Each structure stands twice: as C-alpha cells, then as structure tokens.
Amino acid sequence: MLALVFVAFLPLAWLLGNALITVVDAKRSAREWFLEDRVVAGIFVLIGLAEGAYLAAMTRGQSVSAFTKYYGILLIAAGVVSCLVTPVFAWIGKKRGWPNRQGLSLDSVKKFERREWIVIVLFLVLVLAQAFMLLLRTSVFLEYDETLETVVSFLNTDRYYEVNPLTGQPYEQGMPMRLKILCLPALLTFLTKITQADPELVTWHVFPVITLLGAYLAYVSLARSLFPEKRFYRCLFLLTVALLVFVSDYAYGAEGFGLLHGGFQGAAIRGAVMMPWVFGLCIRRKWRLVPLVILAEACIVWTLYGLGMNALVSVSFLAYLGLEKLLQRRKEGRQCLNS
Amino acid sequence: MLELLRNAWKGWLDATDAGKLGALLLLVFLLVWLWKLGSEKQKDLFRYGAVMTAVCICPVSAVLLMLYQTKFYDYEWIWTAVPAMAILACGGTLILERLWEKADGKWARIAVTGMALAILLLCGKLGNPKWTVQDVSTQREEVAGVLDQVGEATGGIGCLWAPKEVMAQARSLDGSIRLLYGRNMWQEHLNAFSYDGYSQDQRDLYAWMSLAGAYGTLNVPVPADLDVVGEAPEAGGTLEGIACIQKALDLGVDQILLPGVLTEDSLAEVERTFSVAPKKIGQYWLLSFERKD
C-alpha cells in the first residue's frame, strides 16, 4: 500500500499542478512551464488541500478519521476538476490560437552526448544513494523536532493535540496556535493511516524520500532557468547540487542537512523544495505561482503571520530587479548626455 | 534585542566554525565577478545572492531577519534566504567551464576536474562533530525491547519514569505510554512547542535519575555543573532516592525503571520502603505500582 501511494504521488501531483498552471498561465502554459514545474506546483497544491482538510477537522475538534475523509474528498474533487480543466483550456486555446507547443518539444531534443550520459549517470547514482540512505538508515536530527511523537499521538488518541506529544499528558497551558495550525503532522498521520504502515517508516524514511524527490525536481526546474541552452552544463549543475547535498550535511540549517536528516520537517521542505523553485520562478519572472508557494510555506512552517522566507525572497528579488532597472536607466541617460 | 544580537553573532561564529561552505560561497562570488562569468539570469542569481549573504553576515540585518522569521527559528535558518546551493552549483559549473577552456589538453582538464571535486569534498564534514547525527535504530530497538518486557510484566504501561535514553524514545515508539517528562526536559528548544513547563520536583527527578545512573547509589550528590534546563537542584546538596521515588509516585507514576547499576543494598532499601520487588528488565530494574488511571 505504501509503495502504491508512493508511486501514485507523482502522477497525482502532476495532474493537480498541470491543471493549476493551465489555469494560472493559460496562454504560456504549454510553452514555458516544464514537467517538473507541474509536479512541484502539484506538491504545493497537495499541501494546501491538506491544510484545508486539517483546519476543517482540527478547529471543530474532530477526529483524525474525519481529516482522512475530508482530505480524501478534496483529493478526488481536485483530481476530477484537474482532469476537466486541461481539455477545456486546450479547447479554448485552440479556438483562440494559443501556442500548443510543449515546453520541451521533440524537435528541440538533441541526442545526448557521451559526456552528458556520464554526468547524468553519476547524478542518478548520487540521488539513488541518498534515497537508499534515507530508507535504510535512521539518521535523524531530533533536537528541535517532535514530529514522530506528534504523529504517534494523533494515531493513538485519534484527535489533534489532545495530549502533549512528548509526554502523553493532557496540556495544562496549551500550545501556540501558529504551530497548531501547521498541517504537516496531520498529513504524515494521514499517510500512516491509509497505508497502515509503521509511523516511523512513513515519517523518518518514506516522506524524506518524497522531499528529496521534490527538491531535485525544483533544482531541475532551476537548472533549466539558469542553463536554458547548454544541456551539458545543466546536467553538471545538477551533479554539483547532488554532491553539495552530501557535502553540506554537516551543517544544521543547510539544505543537505535538512534533506538527509530532517526531510519530514517543514523548514527542510521550505529550504530544499520551495526556495529553489521560487528562485527559478523569480529568475524566469514568473510571479503568478509565487503566492502558491508563500501559502504552502505558511501551512507547514511557523511564519510571521503568513509571511515566510518565500515572501521575503520574492519581494527582495523584485526590489533588486527594480533597482537594477533604475541603475540601467541612469546609465543609459548618462550615455545619452555624453553622446 | 541584545540577546537576539548576541544570538546572531554566535550563530555566525558557529557557522564559520562548523564548515567551509560559507568561504566557498564567497570565493565563488569573487571568481564570478573577476572573470565576468554568467548570463544575465545567472548574474541575477549571483548579485541577489551576494546582497542576501551580506545581510545574513551583518549582525544588525541578521537580527532583523531573525525577527522576521519569528524567534522560533535559530540563526542558521535565515540563510534559507540565500540560494547558497544554487549559487555554489551554478558558480562551480561556470568556473569549471572557464577552467576547461583554459586547460591545455585532455589530462589538464581531468586534473582540473579532480581538483575542483577535491575542493568541494574538502569543504564537507571534516572532523567537526557539532551536528553529527547518529543512527538511532539500534537504540530504538533496545528501548522497544525493554518497553515490550515492561508491558508484559505489568499488563500495560501507564505513566513511566525511566532513564533518559528510554524517555527519549518511549513516546515515539508507543503513543499509549505517558511519561513523567519528555525530551523537552533536556532539549530546551522543544519547549517552544508548548506553553507547559515542568515543576522543580520534575526537574529534581530528572536530575536524580541521571545521577543515580552515574553513581549507582540511591542518595546522590548534586554537582555544580549539572546540565539541566531551568533551575537546577542546589549544587552540593544531596538528592535522596527514596524521597524522589515517593515524589514520582505522588506525581502519578505507575512504573519506574531504575538504572541497572544501582547496588543491591539500594534495591533492598527500595523494596523495604515501597514493598515492591524490583524486577530485572534488560539493563534496568523495574518497579511496578498499582495503576492510578
């Protein structure tokens, strides 16, 4: 069952992300958004749906089973809507003459060179090694984390935060609401419940692999933004990223550390999946999906009233672009005066 | 504010102590700038990254970022705003491209690649154990075995008090177990997850359990450098085992796992006082009392 969920995850994320991108950026959807963009966007949609279901269950004091029901309904509804959206927009696009070329059309696919194959194989070996490490080793950093205890508590009491996850005793003073509304532990509980798997297996091993996958998809998208023409250097960029994941695993807070020792934590997902994708969006000047990431971050990380790192990065990147434009204009003005 | 400023400075010192990726990042900025590398999009990434790196290094701006990301997260997390991995990978790729162009012949290119790889790997985990993460599977298996035996011996665990290694894993292994205190007793950051705190009695009991495991006796002297979160028991005083066990019972504990190193005299005294025979479970002594729930 766990393997089935794992296998179904990618197509589901693609379906939801594809529909969202089709709606949000219909005219350019086919040409300027890539497969990995659609999957990563789908991951954030899945997080958003989980938050909706969780808030519905938690605020009304309902059980974990109620969340499972709500989330299931939302997933089915979103899946059906997504299935309908794509053909409808394709029909509208055809009527209005929107370009229908895919982001990576067949004629632009050149045959891979030998050196590209070597880099791709090395990259895949590193990614697989990391995935196996996550699946086989229990190397988790827990000093700042109580996710597994929370999941086990939810499963045991069938209620959200009825007891303190660390002690199993009822709360005396309660807990911060901003933490209580984060949906990640509920999502992990949902996965554990529907797969009937061991909470530890889902939380510490399988979910971090999904995060790892999401991170590499985000980096593939960023690589396309940074190296649109040079495919070999794009592959080399990805190989360097895979090496850096290993290299940076000594540093708490670094992406590699988060991916290898805390892929079930919101902050790790933010650092390794959301941020690279947002940087890619900023570089490509594609702002329409940035709010989606900002909202997804608010669902899994304690933010300043919803304003997290993605909001900061997007705003500061916009400010940087504005400043750059201003300086460019001044420079051009001076050149005009001189000539 | 001053404390935040101190945290920002300390966080930066820790970051520079722990590794060399920060230095590599600055080197990449320098080389990319000197050699005028990158397309417009890549330059956007580098310029933006350079500004954000400066913001993260400068203590005043770092404090503002720490306030923005809420005080819940430590200094390290403000670096999330710097696309460090993307900059290192993109810069590294461009630098390698330039070096390959300059290298004369196949072997020179191989040497350049080897050197670049060595530099990257040397920036990794080199002897600083600060954040070293151990594989906890063996420890968890041991604790799970102990909890199974306790459950069998008592007909179900109620509220448990045990040495740190058992308390650390118990709740994540079995959600039905209640604990006298959790990991937040010794991992201070976890206290941010709840408004609840611990009483001085609970802190004393944690200290006693740790010290009893070290001394092997019921009555333990309190050292001056006792590492506990919150107010420590008075240094130089003595924590008495019998009183501590009684206190634990008053706080609702049903089962107690005592360290296996306790002497036979100590165990006999416990048995005499509480009329409960200690039972050997793995490397611990189990005291099981009538459940109160």
pLDDT for A289-303, tens place per residue? 999 999 999 999 988
Q: Which of B42, B81, B124 lies nearest to residue A226, judging by beta carbons?
A: B42
3-state class (DSSP) for residue B162: coil
- Indicate whether A11 pLDDT > 80: yes
Give the pLDDT score at B130: 56
- Indicate whether B11 pLDDT > 60: yes
Task: Say if residue B91 is in the same domain as residue B159.
Answer: no
Q: What is the pLDDT of residues A222-273, one digit of tens each?
A: 999 999 888 899 999 999 999 999 888 877 778 888 899 989 999 999 999 9
Q: Which residue of A has its CA nearest to B17?
A: A251
Q: Which of B70, B79, B97 lies nearest to residue A253, judging by beta carbons?
A: B79
What would the DSSP string read from start to end of B8-61?
Answer: HHHHHHHHHHH-SHHHHHHHHHHHHHHTT-S-HHHHHHHHHHHHHHHHHHSHHH
Give the pLDDT score at A211: 95
- Dist. CA B46–CA B88, nearest whole Å: 10
Mean pLDDT of B152-171: 91
Q: What is the pLDDT of residues A86-118, one digit of tens each?
A: 888 878 877 777 665 554 444 456 788 888 899
Mean pLDDT of B179-183: 93
**A292 to chain B, closest Cα gap in Å:** 18
Task: Say if residue B157 is in the same domain as residue B85.
Answer: no
Establish if B127 belongs to a structural domain. Answer: no
- Indicate whether B226 pLDDT > 60: yes
Mean pLDDT of B251-266: 90
Q: CA B69 from chain center: how many Å?
A: 21
Average confidence score pLDDT of chain A? 88
Amino acid, res. B25: L
Number of structural domains chain B divides into: 2
Establish if B129 belongs to a structural domain. Answer: no
- Dist. CA A74–CA B10, nearest whole Å: 46
The structure tokens 């197509």 sit at A11
Task: Say if residue B201 is in the same domain as residue B231.
Answer: yes
- Dist. CA B18–CA B91, nearest whole Å: 22
Which region among A33-47, A304-318, B216-230 has the lowest average model confidence (pLDDT)?
A: B216-230
Burial of A260 (0-12, 13-18, 19+ CB in 10 A): buried
CB pair distance less than 8 Å for B137 and A312: no
Task: Say if residue B114 is in the same domain as residue B253.
Answer: no
Burial of B43 (0-12, 13-18, 19+ CB in 10 A): middle
Establish if B131 belongs to a structural domain. Answer: no
- Dist. CA A303–CA B194, nearest whole Å: 17
Establish if B271 belongs to a structural domain. Answer: yes
B202-205: long-range contacts, CB 8 A cutoff, minimum separation 24: B202/B251, B203/B228, B203/B229, B203/B230, B203/B231, B203/B232, B203/B233, B204/B233, B204/B239, B204/B244, B204/B247, B205/B161, B205/B180, B205/B181, B205/B244, B205/B247, B205/B248, B205/B251
| Residue at which a domain ends, from B72, B88, B122 | B122
Q: Does an H or E element contain B259, and which?
A: strand B255-259
Establish if B293 belongs to a structural domain. Answer: no
Percent of chain B exceeding pLDDT 90 equals 36
ipTM of the complex: 0.89
| Residue at which a domain ends, from B88, B122, B156 | B122
Confidence of residue B292 (pLDDT cuts 50, 70, 90): low
Give the pLDDT score at B18: 61
Give the pLDDT score at A110: 72
CB pair distance less than 8 Å for B182 and A164: yes
Mean pLDDT of A194-217: 94
Instruction: Characterise B248 by phi-psi region: left (phi > 0), alpha (psi -120 to 50), beta (else).
Output: alpha
Q: Which residue of A has its CA nearest to B174?
A: A152
Which one has a higher pLDDT value, A335 or B174?
B174
Q: Which residues contact A33 (CB under 8 A, 6 or more apart)?
A: A21, A25, A103
Contacts of B41 in chain A (CB under 8 A): 225-226, 283-284
Give the pLDDT score at B88: 94
Establish if B64 belongs to a structural domain. Answer: yes
Of A25-39, A221-235, B120-134, B226-240, which one has max mean pLDDT?
A221-235
- For residue B262, the enclosing domain spans 137-288
- Indicate whether A42 pLDDT > 50: yes
Handedness of CA B20, B25, B26, B30 (dihedral sign): positive
Give the pLDDT score at B62: 87
The structure tokens 């944690």 sit at B206
Give the pLDDT score at B8: 72
Give the pLDDT score at A114: 86
Confidence of residue A155 (pLDDT cuts 50, 70, 90): very high
Residue A189: which of A54, A44, A48, A10 has the closest Cα?
A54
- Indicate whether A209 pLDDT > 90: yes
Q: What is the largest CA-CA distance in chain B?
A: 86
